[in-house]
Amino acid sequence: METRNITVPETAEYIEGLYVQSNPYLKALRQRNQAAMVPILLEETEGLLHQLALLRSPKHILEIGTAVGYGAICFGVWCPEAQVTTVEHAPEMAAQAEENIASAGLSHRVNVVLGDARKVLAEWNEGERQERRSYDFIFIDAAKGHYLEFWELCLPLMAKDCVVVSDNVLFKGLTASDVFSAPGKKKRKHRTIVRRLRTYLDYLSHQEGLVTSVLPVGDGLAITIVSNPEQVAAQWKLKQIATMEKNDE
């Protein structure tokens, strides 16, 4: 049992022990990839995502960060009417994900896009692309230091009442408190990620028009409902202009 400093290990272990995967394909995929240390959804996180997907019944799902396609296949299984688009920048991961999605019989509804999500989403935002304002469920699960950039690029893609789930936002407890910070080589990189995650959570929690819960589930989840994405996008632009004007003074 890995210590994640989110809940006490005994509680996390107990909750993980309650996890049941009834889909044999997903069960085997999890076992194979956990053994190979491939990063996939934690069990607790999967359970909550499953419930949210059933509550929202999304029709267009966007996932940022595919790895081997475990999460994308989950969405495809849970939401039989949904089209799932998932973006991955590592070619070998994307290729493995496509293979797994094909084996799960979901290639007609689950689409892997190869590329850095920052570039891919920026391209989608140019012109009158069909992706604009179409996604009703977005799962952000890629490089933690870029969440605010992903968010900005997702804003024009969100449909009304979009649900956005951001994973790993508590980052082994480091976001909540510096007491979890371990000495070592990665300390500086971690400090940058932590600073950015704090800014991200601060924004999600305080921005008018967003309703966000930060939950100590898995490695920390932020669940945000965006009722009126156009309004939130307009406020984002105004804030940027104000910051630019301040910098000019």
Ligand X SMILES: C[S@@+](CC[C@H](N)C(=O)[O-])C[C@H]1O[C@@H](n2cnc3c(N)ncnc32)[C@H](O)[C@@H]1O
Name the residues that contact ligand X, by CB under 6 A.
39-41, 63, 65-67, 70-71, 87-90, 93, 116-118, 141-143, 146
Token look-up 């004007």 returns 245
Q: How far is the CB of 244 from ligand X (least distance, A)?
A: 25
Minimum CB distance to ligand X smaller for 30 or for 201: 30
Closest-approach residue to ligand X (CB): 71
Q: Which CB sits closer to ligand X, 117 or 169?
A: 117
Q: Interior CA angle at 132 toward 127 and 133, to 5°? A: 150
Looking at the Cβ atoms of 143 and 159, the one nearer to ligand X is 143
Q: How far is the CB of 90 from ligand X (least distance, A)?
A: 4
- Judged by beta carbon, residue 43 or residue 63, the one nearer ligand X is 63
10: number of Cβ within 10 Å: 9
- What string of H, E and C letters represents the secondary structure of 8-55? CHHHHHHHHHCCCCCCHHHHHHHHHHHHCCCCCCCHHHHHHHHHHHHH
188: which strand partners?
Answer: none
* Shortest reach from residue 238's CB to ligand X, in Å: 27
How far apart CA 158 and CA 122 sit, in angstroms, is: 14
Q: Tell me how far, at minimum, the Cβ of 65 lies from ligand X, in Å.
A: 3
